[in-house]
Structure 1
Amino acid sequence: MTQNISSNENSGTARVRAVHRAMAIIGAFTPERTHLKLTEIAHKAQLDAGTARRLLVTLRDEGVIGQEKRSGRYFLTMQILRWAAAVPASRSLLDIADPHLNALSRRIGVTVFLSVLSDTKAVCLARYQGSSAVQVRWWSVGGTLPLNCGAAPRLLWAFQREDLRERILGEPFIALTPSSLIDPDRMRVLLARIRRNGWCYTEDDVVEGLSALAGPLRDTRGNVVAAVSLGGLRPTLENPEGKSPPPLAFTELMECCNDISHELARENYIS
């Protein structure tokens, strides 16, 4: 009898293949794509259609996945929210950061994002719209970005362990615009500069015409656990490199990151 497990070479632990595949199917749904066809789910989960269909039937029978009768498209059910309600009510990263980030967005007017690393992508945990006439909405809550594109993804990548940084450098890069950096050697140099500076600035590499600036949040051990980033039109966000005095948005961002990090330390927060 063949056991339905596969080896995870990175962690050295055994993984149940069916569970891994089911989680890939659940992860295919996003706030932007809440209803998906079988072919779309199979593509996103990197499964053949037959395997995806069998798992979807099981998840549907368990009440996790629903299916529209007319279109046949699949969607997540309220069972996901019931599970979310079971998460312990201790103060989370978002609980601690929320008032600081709300205040930051009001002070400087541009859009503020809170994001964390998830495997080889950056995930947006929260977005705060400023008072600017142009609102940046290209990164929605729950949405992901590749680590080579954007200020927050690059910053999160830069502060990972060296073995993790190098592993990701060996994987194919995604280009979101013609300005997206996809050369591993240049990226290695850039990541080292981000670690030296303690912040990251990018422009045109996620959406042309937009720039972003990111700073780190650290837990009680000093490890970078999240990134706070600002997004706006290029004229509204300057590159702080070599500027004296530094731009106001940069000063406000770094002070906000320090304030949140100090509070995480007081709460003894560990990622």
Structure 2
Amino acid sequence: MTENDHSDPSKGADGMFNQSLARGLSVLESFRDADRPLSLAQIASRTGLTRSAAQRLVHTLRKLGYLTLADDGRGFLLNLPILDLTHDYLRMNPVLRRASPVLLELRRQVQERVDLSLFDGVRMVYATRLQSKREAFFATLVGHSVPTTGSSGGWAALALLPDAEIDQILARAPLRPLTPRSLTDPDAIRAQIATARRDGHALALEQVLMGEVAIAMAIPDADGRPVGSVHVAGSLAEWAPEDFRRRMAPPLAEAIRGIRAS
């Protein structure tokens, strides 16, 4: 489930809140981080629904095209109409509309991977991924998310927030390591945020992927709060960290100015 948990019992006091719709969305959300088709029993378990309620919702979502039966008939998968919604979200998002030409120019200049991730509390969600010459599969996927507390983009975004709000996010964050070098100690994470606040950018070494160096700057809204971050990622086999910072920070800062100006 997301931060905005649709099964939150507090929603019961909201007369406008549609529980049936929320349960249907919870079925779609149950596929998050699944690595294979989900059985009806697994969907019921992940959503907290009864088996009969899950069965009715799965049937309805299949009829509408949002779910499909796996080839072997042993589970269910999300279906193509989900991508239609994803496309519409990306197409209509004002930050992405402004950023797209700027990111293409940044990718041309740096010749390394360029990403834009959107700030969503305890996670950063990748919305644009412009690839370089070497990639892992997960690094090509729009919609992939990483912990805000354990990524260059997250540190850069958190640097725009007051300390009290940072503490609240750290209290909610799972603080799970993605690599052996991922920072999970709150004080160490706070130190990285403080450095990003001082420098105007965050530099991360092997936080999301071993062998990777990444630099990020936050995209602020009109009130100075983070809406996302732009990051450039390279290989430690090709770059010393400080050389990477010196080379990438100026064009990255120019890109952020371009996004804000547009």
TM, length-normalised to structure 1? 0.75
Query: Does the CA-based 8 Å contact 2:153-2:217 persist in structure 1?
Result: yes
Q: 1:157 to 1:203 in 2, by over 3 A?
A: same
Q: Who is 1:268 aligned against?
A: none
**Whole-Å Cα distance in 1 between the matches of residues 118 and 93 of structure 2?**
17
What SS class does the counterpart of residue 173 from structure 1 fall into?
coil
Aligned equivalent of 1:125, options 116, 122, 127: 127
The offset of 1:262, in angstroms, is 1.6
Residue type of the partner of 1:257? Answer: I
**Which SS does the other structure have where 1:257 is aligned?**
helix
2-structure distance, mates of 1:233, 1:86: 33
Alignment partner, residue 104 of structure 1: 106
Distance 1:13 1:238 in 2: 54
Q: Which residue of 2 aligns with 1:255?
A: 254
- Flag the 1:237–1:159 CA change in 2: closer, same or farther, 3 A: farther
Aligned 1:226-237 pairs, distance under 5 A: 226-237=228-239
Aligned equivalent of 2:220, options 218, 221, 228 = 218
In the TM superposition, residue 67 of structure 1 has moved relative to its aligned partner by: 2.2
Verify the 8 A CA contact 1:31 1:141 in the aligned structure 2: no
Matched residue, 1:154 = 155
Deviations 1:45-80 (A, max 9, x none): 464673654542343344432223632332233444
Tell me which moved more, 47-56 or 172-181.
47-56
Pair 85,239 (structure 1): closer, same or farther in 2 beyond 3 Å: closer
Give me the whole-angstrom Cα distance separating, in 2, the residues matched to 1:115 and 1:54.
35
Deviations 1:139-163 (A, max 9, x none): 3211111122221122223334544
Which structure shows the bigger proportion of residues in helix conformation? 2
Question: Is 1:6–2:6 an aligned residue pair?
Answer: no
Match of 2:150, SS? Answer: coil
* 1:229, distance to aligned residue in structure 2 (A): 0.4
Q: Distance in 1 between matches of 2:90 and 2:143?
A: 20
Query: Shift in Å at residue 5 of structure 1?
Result: 6.7
Q: Give me the whole-angstrom Cα distance separating, in 2, the residues matched to 1:85 and 1:180.
A: 32
Any idea what SS the aligned residue of 2:210 has? coil
The 3 A distance-change label for structure 1 pair 82 and 186 is closer
Give the alignment's TM-score, normalised by structure 2: 0.77
Distance 1:143 1:91, change over 3 A: closer
**What SS does structure 1 have at the residue aligned with 2:9?**
strand
Q: Is the 8 A contact 1:111 1:136 kept in 2?
A: no
RMSD, matched Cα: 3.5
**AA of the residue aligned to 2:252:** L
- 1:75 matched to 2:77? The reply is yes
Q: Which runs of 5+ in 1 are unaligned?
A: 264-271
Preserved contact between residue 114 and residue 228 of structure 1 (Cα < 8 Å): yes
- Could you tell me whether the CA contact under 8 Å between 2:214 and 2:234 is conserved in 1? yes
Q: Once the two structures are superposed, what CA deviation does each residue of 1:207-263 show, in whole Å capped at 9, x if it has no partner? A: 1111111012223333321100011211445544xx8x9612121111111111121
Q: Which moved more, 1:79-88 or 1:199-208?
A: 79-88
Name the CA distance, whole Å, in 2 between partners of 1:230 and 1:246.
10
Query: What SS does structure 2 have at the residue aligned with 1:104?
Result: helix
Q: How does 1:164-175 map to 2 (within 5 A)?
A: 164-171=165-172, 172-175=174-177
Q: 5+ residue gaps in structure 2?
A: 1-6
Structure 1 residues 137 and 253, CA, compared in 2 at 3 Å: closer, same or farther? farther
Q: Could you say which residue in structure 2 is the equivalent of 1:184?
A: 186
